[in-house]
């Protein structure tokens, strides 16, 4: 299997990817971020639609997740890295992607927790909660693969990344100009291949930003679908997170 020699001349630069993914994120979530402004306007988003449909008071979780999701826009609006390329600046971009991945991880877990409350699943039973959340929206095990990858590569690294990282090569799916192209290397640590035994021949493959944004969008759509399936599902979340004095 022949490996493609990657150079900065035959790969994307980060700026091109960032701008495209930012546009995708804002469009698909109905969020707005004006130039030189540090906050999102998400008044047309699903989050605000949910809040506006509840007439009995303020629901903290809706606005809080909506505001917290602005962390994604913050990362995607940061243009200082735009001139970096994925070949010469892999370490700096890996740190940037790590911050992005950690935001994604928290959003997935929060939205999965909302679904668990609705389905009366103990959120601490992550396997059961995750399996139920994936139904009809994700491939089986897709969210678990993302969680495991982020935990081992970005979060709890002492038992995985720090243990094996004798200057492993870091490659980015976003570097590939052809969206359908894959790295032709037979030893890759990736979302679908978190091997236990790693040697210096392994590469760490970082997933596409657009894929991760798509995952978050599917998570929001999953909650919207569950709300629409039964009015009681929506009511349960609203009553759980409604401001207490509004219950009087």
- 213-240 in b/e form (b: 16+ CB < 10 A) is bebbebbbebbeebbeeeeebbebbbee
* CB-based contact 62:242 (threshold 8 Å): no
Q: pLDDT digit string (tens) for 103-116?
A: 999 999 999 999 99
**pLDDT above 70 for 147:** yes
What does the DSSP 8-state code read for residue 151? I
The pTM for the full model equals: 0.89
**pLDDT above 80 for 184:** no
What per-residue confidence (pLDDT) applies to 231? 94
Q: Is residue 243 helix, strand or coil?
A: coil
The region, left, alpha or beta by phi > 0 then psi within -120 to 50, assigned to residue 30 is left
d(CA 10, CA 71): 31
**Which residues, including other chains, have CB under 8 Å from residue 147's CB and lie 6 or more apart?**
105, 108, 109, 126, 130
**pLDDT above 70 for 167:** no
* CB-based contact 202:189 (threshold 8 Å): yes
């Amino acid at each position: 299997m022949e490996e493609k020699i990657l150079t900065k001349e035959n790969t994307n630069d980060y700026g091109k990817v960032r701008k495209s993914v930012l546009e995708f994120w804002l469009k698909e979530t109905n969020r707005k971020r004006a130039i030189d402004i540090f906050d999102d306007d998400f008044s047309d988003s699903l989050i605000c639609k949910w809040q506006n449909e509840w007439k009995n008071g303020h629901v903290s979780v809706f606005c809080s997740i909506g505001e917290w999701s602005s962390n994604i826009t913050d990362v995607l609006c940061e243009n200082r890295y735009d001139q970096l390329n994925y070949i010469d600046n892999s370490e700096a971009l890996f740190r940037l992607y790590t911050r992005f991945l950690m935001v994604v991880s928290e959003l997935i877990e929060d939205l999965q927790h909302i679904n668990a409350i609705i389905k009366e699943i103990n959120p601490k039973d992550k396997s059961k909660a995750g399996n139920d959340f994936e139904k009809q929206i994700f491939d089986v095990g897709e969210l678990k693969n993302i969680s495991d990858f982020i935990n081992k590569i970005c979060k709890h690294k002492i038992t995985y990344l720090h243990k094996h990282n004798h200057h492993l090569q870091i490659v980015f799916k976003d570097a590939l100009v052809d969206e359908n192209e894959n790295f032709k290397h037979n030893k890759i640590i990736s979302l679908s291949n978190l091997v236990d035994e790693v040697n210096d021949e392994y590469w760490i493959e970082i997933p596409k930003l657009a894929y991760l944004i798509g995952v978050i969008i599917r998570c929001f759509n999953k909650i919207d679908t569950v709300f629409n399936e039964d009015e009681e599902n929506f009511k349960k979340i609203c009553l759980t997170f409604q401001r207490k004095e509004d219950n009087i």
